[in-house]
Amino acid sequence: MKNVIKEKLKSGETVYGTMIQELRSPAVVLLFANAGYDFVFIDMEHGAHNMETVADMIKVARGAGIVPLVRVPDLQYHLIARCLDAGAQGFMVPRIATREQAEKAVMYSKYPPMGERGCSINKGHNDYKGGELLSFIKEANEENLVILQIERKAAMDDLDNILSVPGVDAAVLGPNDMAASYGISEDLNGEFMNSIFQKVVDTGKKHNVFTGMHIANLQKLKEWKQKGMQFIAYNTDLGFLSAGASKGLKELSE
């Protein structure tokens, strides 16, 4: 199955998505698809989703034409491979800090000869259809997105080395954790944080790695879209729900 957002990114377009952290109904995927988002991250790091829920959401996303991605909770083979088997068209590993971790992310997600992923064709990733082995492997290795979440000082210290790993497709900033890693407040307009954002964009361009950010700040996302970020992850289901509920009540009570 062609990865629509990977095609858009390669052609220089910007892609837009959000994070599903709390809502467990597959209907929420349809809501974001209907709103026009290109992708959703299903959050298994901070979300309460189990594998069965994630698999159901992925099926609905594939049918609705919105690209399903998963933020796995940790860099472990079974966490990555099971999500890809279920039909996720990519995954994001949080807290990446070393080149070795980036290499493992690629190795766990790619079939031989690129990696070590075990093969079962008749699964969600193939919409439960059969297929010829080598053509299936080739397409999966080409289409699935390997995304590193850059949110540690250690990652910034060795960023050039990390993003040069073959098979890494994208690097997405996590500003909250990045600031915490440096022991500073999350000042999105501050010179220091913006120097980090710029370094990620510049290093990504150097190695043909797409860059982006996940925050709820529209102005900052628009700013860094203009500065070269193509992978825009805006807000979460909780953020949308809270903001909408607060705005409506405020207007009603005035």
Strand pairing category for 231-236 and 90-96:
unpaired
Cα separation, 166 vs 105, in Å, equals 11
- How do the pLDDT tens digits run along the chain, 254 residues long? 899 999 999 999 999 999 999 999 999 999 999 999 999 999 999 999 999 999 999 999 999 999 999 999 999 999 999 999 999 999 999 999 999 999 999 999 999 999 999 999 999 999 999 889 999 999 999 999 999 999 999 999 999 999 999 999 999 999 999 999 999 988 899 999 999 999 999 999 999 999 999 999 999 999 999 999 999 999 999 999 999 999 999 999 98
State the pLDDT at residue 35: 97
Instruction: Kindly report the pTM of this predicted structure.
Output: 0.96
Cα separation, 244 vs 250, in Å, equals 10
State the pLDDT at residue 27: 96
Contact yes or no for 96/85 (Cβ under 8 A): no
**Cα 128 to Cα 64, 68, 122, 123, 165, distances in angstroms:** 17, 16, 5, 5, 32
CA-wise closest residue to 87 among 128, 117, 119: 128
Largest CA distance in the chain: 64
State the pLDDT at residue 1: 82
E strands along 98-215, which residues? 145-150, 170-173, 210-215
Cα separation, 165 vs 79, in Å, equals 21
CA-wise closest residue to 68 among 58, 78, 76: 58
State the pLDDT at residue 130: 86
Fold exhibited by the domain 4-249: TIM Barrel (3.20.20)
State the pLDDT at residue 63: 96
**Cα 238 to Cα 81, 216, 241, distances in angstroms:** 27, 11, 5
Contact yes or no for 6/38 (Cβ under 8 A): no
- Domain ranges within the chain, ordered by starting residue: 4-249
